[in-house]
Structure 1
């Protein structure tokens, strides 16, 4: 039985994970962590990690960047594997995660979808072929409750394209303050917030007389919840400290 400590258990993503786990015979949520320690399900909920004294094989976090320091201290002290699914971290927080991974196994991904991670591979190949002569623009769309912009996934897509380019690009997040021609070495990133859009990401390679678009649409939060549970299964078997990613999970699944 895989025992999961779920941070952000009362949020939309947390409840998606709870719902999926309730239908699995070999996975259970042993406790939840939530800023408002209100019990919505049949497990105890605490307002901080320090209040939890039970046993867990892995912790999944789908909460808020403000909880990171608390989580990293708990992870390092308990040496418990962690799956960090929260987005919106700043550069200093990324450094903190990297530092904490020296003490415990940490899995981090800006998007837990298998389709998105396949998209990243396609983006790298496309940018390597088209990047020198095509303009690159990224459009991401999410529901009206999402706080961070651009999304962590949009940044992942931009970084994937940038890795394949010969010249380091400049990321442009808005154009209203600019009165100039588009620079050749830039990647434009635009954000849309509205309704209950689960998640939509598109990268556009715009050339002379032709346009290539690669697009991914998530129809349900269960896409990300299933990915988080798969990552938890993988990380529960990891004993060596380090920073792990979806690439490691996919390689493991393929037996590489």
Structure 2
């Protein structure tokens, strides 16, 4: 039985993860961490910070806030507890801290925990290898009106995957209205839409001469991300120090 320390337990994703875990037999929530606590009616103890948590756990699942990442990684290193980092909107410096921490403890880090999104990333890479140089590439992402970061971490993950097979030649462009010029061949446009209750939609558009190829993924509930995170937690418990991602799990 894998014991999970759930950071961000009272948030939307934290509650979905808790429900997902309650329906499984291979793991349980040992404790929750959330600055909004305390709360009644939870099936596990809740602490306002991970440093206050006296309970042992086998793995941390983090769906909290970027500002808490440093504290969570320090706890993971000190206690030698693996961590699944699911929080988005991280800075390049924070990503570097994740990579450094992975030298001491197992860290699972992915901008999106959905199996379908990670397949989309692989398909986009293949399409870029075949069509790159002949087709313009644009990424469109749509999310609910409560999401604060833009573009989404998943959109950047897709862009990075494409740029990886293109030897890094693409320049990311987010704001075309400020510059009046034709599109450059080595631009990769990334566009954000925020509205309503859209869970998450991503499109990778390859636009060529007289033809357009579109690869897309749509999430209809947050449960797909919760299932991926819990699967990652069960996988990560007992692993050696290192940086893991969805490819490792698959």
TM norm. shorter chain > 0.5: yes
* 2:231 is the alignment partner of 1:230: yes
TM-score normalised to structure 1 length: 0.95
Correspondence for 2:60: 59
Q: CA deviation at 1:237?
A: 2.6
SS of the residue corresponding to residue 130 of structure 2 reads: helix
Matches of 1:118 and 1:9 in 2, distance apart? 28
Contact 1:7 1:14 in 2 (8 A): yes
Residue 205 of structure 1 aligns to a residue in which SS? strand
Gaps of 5+ in 1: 251-256
Query: Residue by residue, what CA displacement relative to the aligned partner does 1:52-84 show, whole Å, maximum 9, x if unpaired?
Result: 111111010011110011001100000101100
Q: Which residue of 2 aligns with 1:29?
A: 29
Q: Which aligned segments of 4 or more residues in structure 1 are displaced greater than 3 angstroms? A: none
What secondary structure does 2:121 align onto?
helix
Contact in 2 for aligned 1:116/1:216 (Cα 8 Å): yes
Report the Cα offset of residue 25 of structure 1: 2.3
- Tell me the secondary structure at the aligned position of residue 134 of structure 2: coil
Residue number in structure 2 paired with 1:8 = 8
Q: What TM-score results when the alignment is normalised by the length of structure 2?
A: 0.97
Residue deviations 1:107-131 (CA, integer Å, cap 9, x gap)? 0000000000111110010000111
Question: Which residue is equivalent to 1:38?
Answer: 38
- 2:177 is paired with a residue of what secondary structure? coil
Alignment gaps of 5+ in structure 2: none
Q: Residue by residue, what CA displacement relative to the aligned partner does 1:128-171 show, whole Å, maximum 9, x if unpaired? A: 01111100000000011111111110001101111122561100
2:101 is the alignment partner of 1:100: yes
**Deviation per CA, 1:199-242, whole angstroms, max 9, x where unpaired?**
0000000000000000000011000000000000100131x211
1:75-154 paired onto structure 2 within 5 Å: 75-154=76-155
